Amino acid sequence: MNQQPDKLTALYCRLSQDDALDGESNSITNQKALLSKYAAEHGFRNPMFFVDDGFSGTNFQRPGFQEMMKYVEDYSVSTLIVKDLSRLGREYSYMGRLQDFIFPAYDVRFIAINDDVDSAKGENDFAVFKNVFNDYYAKDTSKKIRAVVIMRGEAGEHIASNPPYGYVKDPQNKKKWIVDEESAKVVRRIFDLCIAGKGPMQIAKVLTADRVLTVTAYNARQKGWSMPDNLYQWCAKSVAGILERPEYTGCTVNFKTYTKSLKFKKRMENPKENRRVFEDTQPAIIERGQWERVQTLRANKRRPTKTGKTSIFSGLVYCADCGAKLYYCTCNTYKDESQDHFVCSNYKSNTGSCQIHYIREVTLYRRVLECIQGTLTYVRLFRDDFTQEMLAQDEASRKAELTQKRKAFSGAQ
Protein backbone atom coordinates (compact mmCIF):
# COMPACT_ATOMS: atom_id res chain seq x y z
CA MET A 1 0.00 0.00 0.00
CA ASN A 2 1.66 3.23 -1.21
CA GLN A 3 -0.71 5.75 0.37
CA GLN A 4 -3.76 6.34 2.50
CA PRO A 5 -6.94 5.57 0.50
CA ASP A 6 -8.44 9.06 0.80
CA LYS A 7 -5.31 11.02 -0.11
CA LEU A 8 -4.25 12.32 -3.53
CA THR A 9 -1.30 11.50 -5.73
CA ALA A 10 -0.23 14.91 -7.09
CA LEU A 11 1.21 14.72 -10.61
CA TYR A 12 2.91 18.03 -11.36
CA CYS A 13 3.87 19.24 -14.87
CA ARG A 14 5.60 22.46 -15.87
CA LEU A 15 6.79 23.88 -19.17
CA SER A 16 8.37 27.27 -19.81
CA GLN A 17 9.01 28.94 -23.16
CA ASP A 18 12.71 28.11 -22.85
CA ASP A 19 12.00 24.44 -22.04
CA ALA A 20 9.86 24.20 -25.16
CA LEU A 21 12.98 24.84 -27.25
CA ASP A 22 14.44 21.53 -26.09
CA GLY A 23 11.90 19.61 -28.16
CA GLU A 24 8.92 17.37 -27.45
CA SER A 25 10.49 15.53 -24.50
CA ASN A 26 9.47 18.23 -22.02
CA SER A 27 6.02 18.91 -23.51
CA ILE A 28 3.05 18.84 -21.15
CA THR A 29 1.56 15.93 -23.13
CA ASN A 30 4.75 13.91 -22.72
CA GLN A 31 4.99 14.69 -19.01
CA LYS A 32 1.38 13.68 -18.40
CA ALA A 33 1.85 10.39 -20.23
CA LEU A 34 5.03 9.59 -18.27
CA LEU A 35 3.50 10.46 -14.88
CA SER A 36 0.26 8.57 -15.54
CA LYS A 37 2.15 5.46 -16.57
CA TYR A 38 4.46 5.64 -13.54
CA ALA A 39 1.56 6.13 -11.10
CA ALA A 40 -0.40 3.22 -12.59
CA GLU A 41 2.57 0.82 -12.65
CA HIS A 42 3.52 1.58 -9.02
CA GLY A 43 0.03 1.52 -7.54
CA PHE A 44 -0.45 5.20 -6.72
CA ARG A 45 -4.17 5.93 -6.49
CA ASN A 46 -6.30 9.08 -6.80
CA PRO A 47 -4.01 10.83 -9.31
CA MET A 48 -4.60 14.54 -9.84
CA PHE A 49 -2.73 16.70 -12.36
CA PHE A 50 -1.43 20.18 -11.56
CA VAL A 51 -0.11 22.01 -14.63
CA ASP A 52 1.82 25.24 -15.25
CA ASP A 53 2.26 25.79 -18.98
CA GLY A 54 4.49 28.73 -19.92
CA PHE A 55 5.89 29.49 -16.44
CA SER A 56 9.53 29.88 -15.42
CA GLY A 57 10.99 27.46 -12.88
CA THR A 58 12.73 30.29 -11.04
CA ASN A 59 9.43 31.72 -9.79
CA PHE A 60 7.20 29.61 -7.54
CA GLN A 61 4.22 32.00 -7.78
CA ARG A 62 2.65 29.76 -10.43
CA PRO A 63 -1.08 29.01 -10.34
CA GLY A 64 -0.73 25.24 -10.70
CA PHE A 65 2.01 24.98 -8.09
CA GLN A 66 0.16 27.24 -5.65
CA GLU A 67 -3.04 25.19 -6.04
CA MET A 68 -1.09 21.99 -5.41
CA MET A 69 0.53 23.45 -2.28
CA LYS A 70 -2.92 24.25 -0.85
CA TYR A 71 -3.74 20.52 -1.03
CA VAL A 72 -0.34 19.73 0.51
CA GLU A 73 -0.94 22.14 3.42
CA ASP A 74 -4.38 20.57 3.98
CA TYR A 75 -2.66 17.18 4.41
CA SER A 76 -4.59 15.95 1.36
CA VAL A 77 -1.53 14.81 -0.65
CA SER A 78 0.26 11.55 0.04
CA THR A 79 2.70 11.55 -2.88
CA LEU A 80 4.03 14.17 -5.30
CA ILE A 81 5.51 12.92 -8.58
CA VAL A 82 7.37 14.96 -11.20
CA LYS A 83 9.30 14.02 -14.36
CA ASP A 84 12.53 15.47 -12.94
CA LEU A 85 13.65 18.03 -10.35
CA SER A 86 13.75 20.89 -12.87
CA ARG A 87 10.00 20.47 -13.55
CA LEU A 88 9.26 21.38 -9.93
CA GLY A 89 11.65 24.34 -9.96
CA ARG A 90 15.05 25.78 -10.83
CA GLU A 91 15.74 27.82 -7.68
CA TYR A 92 18.04 25.64 -5.58
CA SER A 93 17.51 27.28 -2.16
CA TYR A 94 13.70 26.90 -2.24
CA MET A 95 13.97 23.44 -3.78
CA GLY A 96 16.09 22.48 -0.77
CA ARG A 97 13.43 23.83 1.61
CA LEU A 98 10.71 21.87 -0.18
CA GLN A 99 12.59 18.58 -0.10
CA ASP A 100 14.19 18.87 3.36
CA PHE A 101 11.50 20.63 5.39
CA ILE A 102 8.13 21.38 3.74
CA PHE A 103 7.29 17.99 2.18
CA PRO A 104 8.41 15.99 5.27
CA ALA A 105 6.40 18.33 7.54
CA TYR A 106 3.20 17.51 5.61
CA ASP A 107 4.10 13.81 5.24
CA VAL A 108 4.41 14.01 1.45
CA ARG A 109 6.48 11.43 -0.41
CA PHE A 110 8.40 13.18 -3.20
CA ILE A 111 9.45 11.39 -6.40
CA ALA A 112 11.43 12.79 -9.35
CA ILE A 113 11.42 9.91 -11.84
CA ASN A 114 14.32 10.69 -14.20
CA ASP A 115 16.59 11.92 -11.38
CA ASP A 116 16.05 8.77 -9.29
CA VAL A 117 14.81 10.78 -6.31
CA ASP A 118 12.36 9.10 -3.92
CA SER A 119 12.11 10.42 -0.37
CA ALA A 120 10.78 7.03 0.79
CA LYS A 121 14.18 5.50 -0.10
CA GLY A 122 16.16 8.11 1.81
CA GLU A 123 18.16 11.13 0.73
CA ASN A 124 19.72 11.24 -2.73
CA ASP A 125 23.21 12.72 -2.38
CA PHE A 126 23.21 13.97 -5.95
CA ALA A 127 19.86 15.81 -5.70
CA VAL A 128 21.49 18.93 -4.24
CA PHE A 129 23.95 19.06 -7.15
CA LYS A 130 21.08 18.59 -9.60
CA ASN A 131 19.24 21.54 -8.05
CA VAL A 132 22.36 23.72 -8.23
CA PHE A 133 22.87 22.78 -11.89
CA ASN A 134 19.21 23.51 -12.69
CA ASP A 135 19.59 26.91 -10.99
CA TYR A 136 22.74 27.62 -13.03
CA TYR A 137 20.97 26.56 -16.24
CA ALA A 138 18.17 29.07 -15.54
CA LYS A 139 20.71 31.86 -14.90
CA ASP A 140 22.68 31.03 -18.03
CA THR A 141 19.53 30.96 -20.16
CA SER A 142 18.40 34.27 -18.66
CA LYS A 143 21.76 35.89 -19.54
CA LYS A 144 21.50 34.70 -23.14
CA ILE A 145 17.91 35.93 -23.50
CA ARG A 146 18.81 39.28 -21.92
CA ALA A 147 21.72 39.65 -24.36
CA VAL A 148 19.37 39.07 -27.30
CA VAL A 149 16.83 41.58 -25.92
CA ILE A 150 19.55 44.20 -25.43
CA MET A 151 20.78 43.66 -28.98
CA ARG A 152 17.25 44.07 -30.36
CA GLY A 153 16.61 47.12 -28.18
CA GLU A 154 19.86 48.80 -29.27
CA ALA A 155 18.87 48.19 -32.91
CA GLY A 156 15.61 50.08 -32.40
CA GLU A 157 13.25 47.10 -32.44
CA HIS A 158 10.22 47.00 -30.15
CA ILE A 159 11.14 44.85 -27.14
CA ALA A 160 7.76 45.22 -25.41
CA SER A 161 5.62 42.07 -25.65
CA ASN A 162 2.50 43.99 -26.64
CA PRO A 163 1.96 47.38 -28.30
CA PRO A 164 0.45 50.16 -26.17
CA TYR A 165 -3.30 50.83 -26.33
CA GLY A 166 -3.95 52.52 -29.68
CA TYR A 167 -1.60 50.27 -31.68
CA VAL A 168 -1.62 46.66 -32.89
CA LYS A 169 1.05 44.48 -34.45
CA ASP A 170 1.21 44.62 -38.22
CA PRO A 171 -0.14 41.28 -39.57
CA GLN A 172 2.45 41.44 -42.36
CA ASN A 173 5.37 42.14 -39.99
CA LYS A 174 5.00 41.37 -36.28
CA LYS A 175 7.96 43.61 -35.46
CA LYS A 176 6.04 46.68 -36.66
CA TRP A 177 3.15 48.56 -35.01
CA ILE A 178 0.25 50.05 -36.91
CA VAL A 179 -2.52 52.35 -35.66
CA ASP A 180 -5.70 50.69 -34.37
CA GLU A 181 -8.19 53.40 -35.30
CA GLU A 182 -10.91 52.42 -32.82
CA SER A 183 -8.69 52.68 -29.74
CA ALA A 184 -6.61 55.51 -31.25
CA LYS A 185 -9.74 57.69 -31.28
CA VAL A 186 -10.00 57.21 -27.51
CA VAL A 187 -6.32 58.11 -27.08
CA ARG A 188 -6.78 61.34 -29.08
CA ARG A 189 -9.88 62.18 -27.04
CA ILE A 190 -7.98 61.71 -23.77
CA PHE A 191 -5.25 64.12 -24.92
CA ASP A 192 -7.86 66.66 -26.11
CA LEU A 193 -9.66 66.51 -22.74
CA CYS A 194 -6.37 67.06 -20.90
CA ILE A 195 -5.56 70.14 -22.99
CA ALA A 196 -9.10 71.38 -22.27
CA GLY A 197 -8.14 71.47 -18.58
CA LYS A 198 -9.33 68.12 -17.24
CA GLY A 199 -7.16 65.90 -15.04
CA PRO A 200 -6.92 62.08 -15.20
CA MET A 201 -9.72 61.55 -12.67
CA GLN A 202 -12.08 63.89 -14.53
CA ILE A 203 -11.21 62.26 -17.87
CA ALA A 204 -11.84 58.82 -16.36
CA LYS A 205 -15.29 59.95 -15.21
CA VAL A 206 -16.11 61.24 -18.72
CA LEU A 207 -15.06 57.95 -20.37
CA THR A 208 -16.97 55.92 -17.77
CA ALA A 209 -20.12 58.01 -18.27
CA ASP A 210 -19.86 57.57 -22.05
CA ARG A 211 -19.46 53.79 -21.60
CA VAL A 212 -16.12 53.56 -23.36
CA LEU A 213 -14.52 50.12 -22.96
CA THR A 214 -11.53 50.17 -20.60
CA VAL A 215 -8.10 49.17 -21.91
CA THR A 216 -8.40 45.73 -20.27
CA ALA A 217 -11.90 45.15 -21.63
CA TYR A 218 -10.96 46.34 -25.12
CA ASN A 219 -7.90 44.04 -25.28
CA ALA A 220 -9.98 41.12 -23.99
CA ARG A 221 -12.60 41.67 -26.69
CA GLN A 222 -9.97 41.95 -29.43
CA LYS A 223 -8.16 38.76 -28.38
CA GLY A 224 -11.22 36.70 -27.49
CA TRP A 225 -10.43 36.46 -23.79
CA SER A 226 -13.01 36.38 -21.01
CA MET A 227 -14.34 39.87 -20.36
CA PRO A 228 -13.67 41.60 -16.99
CA ASP A 229 -16.51 42.51 -14.63
CA ASN A 230 -16.16 46.29 -15.00
CA LEU A 231 -16.25 46.95 -18.74
CA TYR A 232 -16.46 50.75 -18.56
CA GLN A 233 -14.99 51.71 -15.17
CA TRP A 234 -11.95 53.79 -16.10
CA CYS A 235 -9.46 54.80 -13.40
CA ALA A 236 -7.19 57.84 -13.18
CA LYS A 237 -4.06 55.65 -13.22
CA SER A 238 -4.90 54.19 -16.66
CA VAL A 239 -5.59 57.65 -18.08
CA ALA A 240 -2.35 59.06 -16.63
CA GLY A 241 -0.41 56.14 -18.12
CA ILE A 242 -1.76 56.95 -21.58
CA LEU A 243 -0.99 60.66 -21.21
CA GLU A 244 2.62 59.90 -20.26
CA ARG A 245 3.52 57.51 -23.13
CA PRO A 246 5.84 59.14 -25.69
CA GLU A 247 5.24 56.22 -28.08
CA TYR A 248 2.07 57.97 -29.27
CA THR A 249 4.29 60.52 -31.07
CA GLY A 250 5.64 57.71 -33.26
CA CYS A 251 8.83 56.87 -31.37
CA THR A 252 10.09 53.74 -29.63
CA VAL A 253 11.43 53.96 -26.07
CA ASN A 254 13.45 50.91 -25.02
CA PHE A 255 14.89 49.97 -21.61
CA LYS A 256 12.35 51.96 -19.57
CA THR A 257 12.59 49.39 -16.77
CA TYR A 258 15.04 46.73 -15.63
CA THR A 259 15.42 43.96 -13.06
CA LYS A 260 18.37 43.88 -10.65
CA SER A 261 18.79 40.12 -10.90
CA LEU A 262 17.17 36.92 -12.10
CA LYS A 263 15.67 36.16 -8.69
CA PHE A 264 14.55 39.73 -7.90
CA LYS A 265 11.67 40.02 -10.36
CA LYS A 266 10.44 43.51 -9.48
CA ARG A 267 10.74 45.92 -12.40
CA MET A 268 12.71 49.06 -11.53
CA GLU A 269 12.39 52.35 -13.42
CA ASN A 270 15.44 53.08 -15.52
CA PRO A 271 16.86 56.64 -15.41
CA LYS A 272 16.06 58.58 -18.60
CA GLU A 273 19.73 58.80 -19.56
CA ASN A 274 19.87 54.96 -19.72
CA ARG A 275 16.89 54.66 -22.08
CA ARG A 276 17.12 54.51 -25.86
CA VAL A 277 14.68 56.54 -27.98
CA PHE A 278 14.20 55.90 -31.71
CA GLU A 279 12.10 58.38 -33.68
CA ASP A 280 9.55 57.62 -36.43
CA THR A 281 9.32 53.86 -35.83
CA GLN A 282 5.51 53.78 -36.22
CA PRO A 283 2.74 56.17 -37.34
CA ALA A 284 2.06 58.90 -34.77
CA ILE A 285 -1.33 59.09 -33.05
CA ILE A 286 -0.55 62.37 -31.25
CA GLU A 287 1.44 65.26 -32.71
CA ARG A 288 4.70 66.05 -30.92
CA GLY A 289 3.59 69.60 -30.02
CA GLN A 290 0.34 68.34 -28.53
CA TRP A 291 2.14 65.68 -26.47
CA GLU A 292 4.64 68.21 -25.11
CA ARG A 293 1.81 70.60 -24.25
CA VAL A 294 0.11 67.86 -22.22
CA GLN A 295 3.37 67.09 -20.36
CA THR A 296 3.70 70.78 -19.47
CA LEU A 297 0.11 70.95 -18.22
CA ARG A 298 0.53 67.80 -16.13
CA ALA A 299 3.82 69.02 -14.68
CA ASN A 300 2.06 72.17 -13.50
CA LYS A 301 -1.00 70.16 -12.40
CA ARG A 302 -3.44 72.95 -13.15
CA ARG A 303 -6.85 71.67 -12.10
CA PRO A 304 -10.24 73.36 -11.85
CA THR A 305 -11.35 74.20 -8.31
CA LYS A 306 -14.71 73.08 -6.93
CA THR A 307 -16.19 76.26 -8.37
CA GLY A 308 -15.01 75.23 -11.84
CA LYS A 309 -12.55 78.15 -12.04
CA THR A 310 -8.93 77.83 -13.09
CA SER A 311 -6.04 80.28 -13.15
CA ILE A 312 -3.34 80.62 -15.78
CA PHE A 313 -0.84 80.87 -12.90
CA SER A 314 -1.88 77.64 -11.11
CA GLY A 315 1.15 75.43 -10.45
CA LEU A 316 3.56 78.22 -11.43
CA VAL A 317 3.63 80.44 -8.33
CA TYR A 318 5.92 79.72 -5.36
CA CYS A 319 6.41 81.24 -1.91
CA ALA A 320 9.45 83.54 -1.77
CA ASP A 321 10.28 82.44 1.80
CA CYS A 322 9.82 78.66 1.99
CA GLY A 323 9.67 77.74 -1.72
CA ALA A 324 6.34 75.89 -1.43
CA LYS A 325 3.68 76.27 -4.12
CA LEU A 326 0.95 78.85 -3.69
CA TYR A 327 -2.57 77.39 -3.79
CA TYR A 328 -5.26 79.05 -5.87
CA CYS A 329 -8.20 80.04 -3.64
CA THR A 330 -11.61 81.04 -4.94
CA CYS A 331 -15.19 80.84 -3.74
CA ASN A 332 -18.67 81.34 -5.18
CA THR A 333 -19.48 83.67 -2.25
CA TYR A 334 -16.87 86.23 -3.36
CA LYS A 335 -18.55 89.38 -4.64
CA ASP A 336 -16.16 89.67 -7.59
CA GLU A 337 -13.14 87.87 -9.05
CA SER A 338 -10.77 90.47 -7.57
CA GLN A 339 -10.90 88.49 -4.30
CA ASP A 340 -9.48 85.31 -5.91
CA HIS A 341 -5.97 84.85 -4.54
CA PHE A 342 -2.99 82.53 -4.02
CA VAL A 343 -1.83 81.47 -0.55
CA CYS A 344 1.27 79.56 0.58
CA SER A 345 0.57 75.79 0.74
CA ASN A 346 2.97 75.52 3.68
CA TYR A 347 0.83 77.88 5.76
CA LYS A 348 -2.27 75.70 6.10
CA SER A 349 -4.32 78.07 8.27
CA ASN A 350 -1.51 78.76 10.74
CA THR A 351 -0.64 75.06 11.22
CA GLY A 352 2.34 74.96 8.82
CA SER A 353 5.86 76.29 9.15
CA CYS A 354 5.39 79.39 6.96
CA GLN A 355 3.56 82.70 7.32
CA ILE A 356 0.30 83.64 5.63
CA HIS A 357 1.86 84.86 2.39
CA TYR A 358 -0.72 85.50 -0.31
CA ILE A 359 -1.27 87.59 -3.42
CA ARG A 360 -4.47 88.45 -5.27
CA GLU A 361 -4.73 87.00 -8.76
CA VAL A 362 -5.50 90.44 -10.31
CA THR A 363 -2.37 91.87 -8.67
CA LEU A 364 -0.25 88.97 -9.93
CA TYR A 365 -1.74 89.34 -13.41
CA ARG A 366 -0.95 93.05 -13.43
CA ARG A 367 2.65 92.53 -12.24
CA VAL A 368 3.32 89.82 -14.84
CA LEU A 369 1.82 91.97 -17.60
CA GLU A 370 4.02 94.91 -16.57
CA CYS A 371 7.08 92.66 -16.67
CA ILE A 372 6.21 91.38 -20.15
CA GLN A 373 5.60 94.90 -21.43
CA GLY A 374 8.90 96.09 -19.96
CA THR A 375 10.76 93.20 -21.59
CA LEU A 376 9.18 93.94 -24.98
CA THR A 377 10.16 97.59 -24.68
CA TYR A 378 13.75 96.62 -23.89
CA VAL A 379 13.83 94.26 -26.89
CA ARG A 380 12.61 97.01 -29.23
CA LEU A 381 15.18 99.53 -27.96
CA PHE A 382 18.17 97.24 -27.50
CA ARG A 383 17.61 94.33 -29.88
CA ASP A 384 21.32 93.48 -30.35
CA ASP A 385 22.06 93.52 -26.62
CA PHE A 386 19.03 91.34 -25.92
CA THR A 387 20.11 88.82 -28.58
CA GLN A 388 23.60 88.57 -27.09
CA GLU A 389 22.21 88.05 -23.58
CA MET A 390 19.91 85.26 -24.78
CA LEU A 391 22.74 83.54 -26.66
CA ALA A 392 24.98 83.75 -23.58
CA GLN A 393 22.25 82.25 -21.37
CA ASP A 394 21.62 79.47 -23.89
CA GLU A 395 25.34 78.65 -24.06
CA ALA A 396 25.60 78.56 -20.24
CA SER A 397 22.55 76.29 -20.06
CA ARG A 398 23.97 73.87 -22.64
CA LYS A 399 27.35 73.75 -20.85
CA ALA A 400 25.62 72.95 -17.54
CA GLU A 401 23.56 70.20 -19.19
CA LEU A 402 26.69 68.72 -20.85
CA THR A 403 28.54 68.73 -17.52
CA GLN A 404 25.64 66.95 -15.84
CA LYS A 405 25.51 64.26 -18.55
CA ARG A 406 29.26 63.70 -18.32
CA LYS A 407 28.98 63.16 -14.55
CA ALA A 408 26.10 60.71 -15.04
CA PHE A 409 28.08 58.85 -17.72
CA SER A 410 31.19 58.68 -15.51
CA GLY A 411 29.12 57.32 -12.63
CA ALA A 412 27.68 54.59 -14.87
CA GLN A 413 31.15 53.33 -15.89
Q: What is the DSSP string of 255-303?
A: -SEE-SSSS----EEPPGGG-EEESSSS--SS-HHHHHHHHHHHHHT--
Query: Would 128 be classed as within a structural domain?
Result: yes
pLDDT value at residue 412: 46
CA distance 405 to 277: 16
User: Do 358 and 389 fall within a single domain?
Assistant: no
Q: Please compute the mean of the pLDDT values over residues 306-322 and round it to a whole number.
A: 77
Most confident of 22-26, 63-67, 261-265, 300-304: 63-67
User: Do 128 and 174 fall within a single domain?
Assistant: no
pLDDT value at residue 287: 95
User: Do 192 and 221 fall within a single domain?
Assistant: yes
Closest CA to 204 of 239, 160, 166, 179: 239
Confidence band for 335, pLDDT divided at 50, 70 and 90: low
Q: Please compute the mean of the pLDDT values over residues 243-256 and round it to a whole number.
A: 93
Q: Please compute the mean of the pLDDT values over residues 380-398 and round it to a whole number.
A: 85
CA distance 33 to 55: 20
User: Do 365 and 399 fall within a single domain?
Assistant: no
Each residue's pLDDT tens digit, 70-114: 999 999 999 999 999 999 999 888 998 999 999 999 999 999 999
Query: Would 23 be classed as within a structural domain?
Result: yes
Full domain range(s) for residue 42: 8-138
**How many structural domains compose the chain?**
4
Of 142 and 60, more confident: 60
Q: Please compute the mean of the pLDDT values over residues 252-262 and round it to a whole number.
A: 79
CA distance 113 to 91: 19
User: Do 244 and 265 fall within a single domain?
Assistant: yes
User: Do 16 and 116 fall within a single domain?
Assistant: yes
CB 78 within 8 A of CB 3: yes
Q: Please compute the mean of the pLDDT values over residues 222-235 and round it to a whole number.
A: 91
User: Do 267 and 325 fall within a single domain?
Assistant: no
User: Do 225 and 133 fall within a single domain?
Assistant: no
Q: Please compute the mean of the pLDDT values over residues 153-162 and round it to a whole number.
A: 86
CB atoms within 10 A of CB 119: 19
Query: Would 101 be classed as within a structural domain?
Result: yes
CA distance 208 to 211: 5
Closest CA to 47 of 19, 21, 10: 10
User: Do 132 and 224 fall within a single domain?
Assistant: no
Confidence band for 306, pLDDT divided at 50, 70 and 90: low
Domain end marker among 260, 276, 299: 299
pLDDT value at residue 15: 92
Type of residue found at 62: R
User: Do 327 and 342 fall within a single domain?
Assistant: yes
User: Do 88 and 193 fall within a single domain?
Assistant: no
* Reported pTM: 0.56
CATH code for the domain in which residue 254 is found: 3.90.1750
Query: Would 194 be classed as within a structural domain?
Result: yes
Each residue's pLDDT tens digit, 143-154: 776 777 788 888
User: Do 386 and 363 fall within a single domain?
Assistant: no
CATH code for the domain in which residue 121 is found: 3.40.50.1390
Query: Would 158 be classed as within a structural domain?
Result: no
Confidence band for 301, pLDDT divided at 50, 70 and 90: low
pLDDT value at residue 330: 81
